[in-house]
Amino acid sequence: SSNESHTVLAAACDTLWTIHVADKKQGLAMQRVGLTSLAQMTNLLTKCVENDELFAQALISMSALPYSVSGDEQHGHTPQLFCELALTFMLEERVRLCRGDTITILKRVYDLMSIFSKLREDTELVTTIMQCRHIAASIRDGVQVWDSFIPFLT
pLDDT attached to residue 30: 47
pLDDT attached to residue 76: 73
pLDDT attached to residue 96: 85
- Across the chain, the runs of DSSP E, i.e. the strands, are 33-37, 67-68
Q: CB neighbours of 74 closer than 8 A, spacing ≥ 6?
A: 116
> pLDDT tens digits, the chain, 154 residues: what are they?
667 666 766 667 666 666 666 555 555 444 445 678 888 889 889 988 899 988 999 999 899 988 888 776 666 799 999 999 999 999 998 778 999 999 999 999 999 999 999 999 999 999 999 999 999 999 999 999 999 999 988 7
The CA dihedral of 62, 18, 11, 57, to the nearest 10 degrees, is -40
Handedness of CA 54, 60, 65, 68 (dihedral sign): positive
pLDDT attached to residue 32: 47
Handedness of CA 66, 37, 78, 74 (dihedral sign): positive
* Pairing status of strand 33-37 against strand 67-68: parallel
Q: Checking phi first, is residue 121 left (phi over 0); if not, alpha (psi -120 to 50) or beta? A: alpha
pLDDT attached to residue 40: 87
* pTM exceeds 0.75: yes
pLDDT attached to residue 125: 95
